[in-house]
Amino acid sequence: MRHLFLAVMVLIAAAPAQALPAPDTLSNPVEEARARNLQKELRCLVCQGESLDESNASLAVDLRRLIRARIRAGDSDEAIKNFLVSRYGDFILMQPPFETRTYALWLSPFAVLILGAGIAVWVVVQAKRRPQGH
C-alpha cells in the first residue's frame, strides 16, 4: 500500500512537468502584449472554462501560435478575432456578443437555475402534501 501511495505521489508531482510549453514569445513587447490580451479574450475550446492564455491544452497552444503568427503578419486584433470566430463560432469568445444567435449561450445558465429552483419548489410542495407517518 505504501508503494502505491508513493507511486501516485510521484505521478502527481511529475504532472506539471508534462504540461505543454508556451509558444515562443514575440520579440516586440507591444506585439507580445497584444497577443497576451487576445489570448485572455478567447476561450479554450477544450477546457471551456479557461482562456487560451491559461490553458495548456494542445489546441490552446496551437491557437496561441496562430495568434502570434497573424500578429507577425500584420493582422489587427479585430481581424484575428473575426478569423477565429468564423472558424470556431462565437463560443470561442470569453464574452460572446448578446444577439439573437447567441441567446442560448447567455440565457442557458439562467434557464438551468430557474428549472432547478422550480424542481426544488415542486419537491418541497410534494413533501408537505404527503401525510406524515410515524
pLDDT digits (tens, 9 = 90+) for 46-70: 887 899 999 889 999 999 999 999 9
pLDDT at 22: 46
Q: Could you give the CA distance from residue 48 to residue 118 in angstroms, rounded to a whole number?
A: 27
Q: What is the mean pLDDT of residues 106-125?
A: 92
Distance CA 131, CA 81 (A): 60
Q: How far apart are CA 115 and CA 120, in angstroms?
A: 9
pLDDT at 133 over 80: no
> How many CB atoms are closer than 10 A to CB 54?
14
- This prediction's pTM: 0.59
